[in-house]
Amino acid sequence: MRRSILLASALVTTLALTACGTDDTGEAAADESAAADETTEPAGDGGTLTVWVDETRQDAVAAAAEAFESETGAEVELVLKPFEDIRADFIAQVPTGEGPDVTVGAHDWLGELITNGVVAPVELGDTAAEFEEVAVQAFTADGQVYGLPYAIENIALIRNTELADSAPATWDDAIAAGEDAGTKFPFLIQSDGENGDPYTYYPFQTSFGAPVFEQNADGSYTPELAMGGENGEAYAQWLADQGEAGNLTIDTTYDISVEAFANGESPFIVGGPWMLEQFADLDLAIDPVPAAGDEAAQPFVGVQGFYVSARSENALLANDFLVNFLSTEEAQTALFEAGGRPPALTAAADAASSDPIVAGFREVGADAVPMPSIPEMGSVWAFWGVTEAGIISGKAEPAEAWNKMISDIEGALGS
């Protein structure tokens, strides 16, 4: 036993020796920090701006950066990062002074970025009026704008025109049309198994008049839950009924439902522009999500944009880049072509709307509500989907489960 430990440690040591010579290890970390630090420092020749982008936006931002570079003499360094890593990395790295000057991001991060003090307000000035109202609203907290929006994304009803020739007005119409089509699924909504998918189901919930949080007059959310009560219970009952009837199932994950729709196994799917690539062979129409309750079915709108770091040493360059270069029609159109989401700039969105698909999503988005960006939303996600999935699969008593969810969320918010 002892001997084996000795042997192992000797082996490790030898390996270390041969692998790295007599290298020390402290430098790896130090190196990175040094490299990162150099980029945030204002350089003499017009300055260097560090921008975090993800793969889909890289080329479009690079194009805008080129215009910026040639006009101002500044240098823009794009750092490629996976989109899902950006949020946590930005919060962790900005306080150390090693974060970027500008990062791409989604509007629903805003609450978390603000409480952690890592994001700086951006004064859009007169350009604010040139953007779609919902886009600027989404990036606004407590009356301050914190980012430059560039794309709006929302879900809608995607219809295979060969299988259904007209847009269903209500949920029952949609199911009837789906059954007439004689396909494997009358209607497709993705779910994530037991975790549910409250984002995709949200338009049906709003059609029962049960929005997740109370909204202020200016459209911002308060941390008061609004999805309880009678309306919420009615929605829960609807989930249970449709689950029992087989119209809703939690087993159709994103991949499964997209593949089924692409194979013509359903005339309808609730989804966003990110699915369209797989539906290239189909004739599609984009319709509003049919209401299941008495009110309009409003999906969530997600807005993507660019944030400026609170610790940027190039705040001037960063704001200049955002407000004067990424807000132009060319830049927003380029971002649209790269990402496929309707642009946030009205002029660019108008141009992009020549495509009926884009116009369809945009039309649905006009009636949609921004996804709450308040930090309390995290606690809602933790219970919401699981409860919905439990009700749909028939495991849970609808009203009871729904009310337990409300009290659990309130407990989590209160703690």
Would you count residue 223 as binding another protein (CB under 8 A)? Answer: no
Q: Among residues 50 and 314, whose Cβ is nearest to another protein?
A: 314
Q: Among residues 46 and 219, whose Cβ is nearest to another protein?
A: 46
Measured CA to CA, the distance from residue 365 to residue 357 in angstroms comes to 12
Would you count residue 176 as binding another protein (CB under 8 A)? Answer: no
Q: Helix %, strand %, coil % for the chain, to 5?
A: 55, 15, 30
Quickly tell me which residue has 């029992």 as its tokens: 244
Measured CA to CA, the distance from residue 164 to residue 274 in angstroms comes to 22
- Which member of 226, 375, 399, 403 binds another protein (CB under 8 A)? 375
**Side-chain half-sphere CA neighbours of 181 within 13 A:** 25
Q: Among residues 324 and 353, whose Cβ is nearest to another protein?
A: 324
Measured CA to CA, the distance from residue 379 to residue 399 in angstroms comes to 20
Q: Cβ 324 to another protein, closest distance in Å?
A: 6
Would you count residue 142 as binding another protein (CB under 8 A)? Answer: yes
Helix and strand counts by DSSP (H, E) for the chain: 16, 15
Would you count residue 403 as binding another protein (CB under 8 A)? Answer: no
Q: Among residues 207 and 393, whose Cβ is nearest to another protein?
A: 393
Instruction: Say if residues 307 and 113 touch (Cβ distance below 8 Å).
Output: yes
Q: Which residues in 302-341 contact another protein (CB under 8 A)? A: 310-311, 313-317, 319-320, 323-324
Would you count residue 27 as binding another protein (CB under 8 A)? Answer: yes
Q: Cβ 226 to another protein, closest distance in Å?
A: 20
The H or E element spanning position 292 is none
- Which member of 99, 121, 178, 272 binds another protein (CB under 8 A)? 121
Q: Among residues 12 and 176, whose Cβ is nearest to another protein?
A: 12
Report the SS3 class of residue 158. strand
The torsion of the CA quartet 131, 324, 120, 382, rounded to 10 degrees, works out to: 40
Applying CB under 8 A, which part among 161-169, 197-205, 249-257, 339-347 lies near another protein?
Answer: 249-257
- Which member of 83, 274, 279, 381 binds another protein (CB under 8 A)? 381
Would you count residue 70 as binding another protein (CB under 8 A)? Answer: no
Q: Among residues 123 and 277, whose Cβ is nearest to another protein?
A: 123
Would you count residue 26 as binding another protein (CB under 8 A)? Answer: yes
Quickly tell me which residue has 């439990």 as its tokens: 390
Q: Among residues 46 and 356, whose Cβ is nearest to another protein?
A: 46
- Which member of 56, 116, 346, 353 binds another protein (CB under 8 A)? 116
- Which member of 31, 165, 180, 350 binds another protein (CB under 8 A)? 31
Q: What is the rounded end-to-end Cα distance, in angstroms, of the chain? A: 49
Q: Among residues 111 and 290, whose Cβ is nearest to another protein?
A: 111
Would you count residue 383 as binding another protein (CB under 8 A)? Answer: yes
Would you count residue 182 as binding another protein (CB under 8 A)? Answer: no
Would you count residue 246 as binding another protein (CB under 8 A)? Answer: no
Instruction: Say if residues 87 and 119 touch (Cβ distance below 8 Å).
Output: no
What sections of 171-314 are H helices per DSSP?
171-181, 198-207, 229-245, 254-262
Q: Among residues 97 and 228, whose Cβ is nearest to another protein?
A: 97
Would you count residue 44 as binding another protein (CB under 8 A)? Answer: yes
- Which member of 33, 170, 215, 278 binds another protein (CB under 8 A)? 33
Would you count residue 270 as binding another protein (CB under 8 A)? Answer: no
Would you count residue 123 as binding another protein (CB under 8 A)? Answer: yes
Q: Per the structure block, which two tokens stand in for 206?
A: 């709003």
Cα angle value 252/180/284 (rounded, 5°): 65
Closest CA to 203 of 296, 106, 81, 105: 296
Measured CA to CA, the distance from residue 89 to residue 257 in angstroms comes to 32
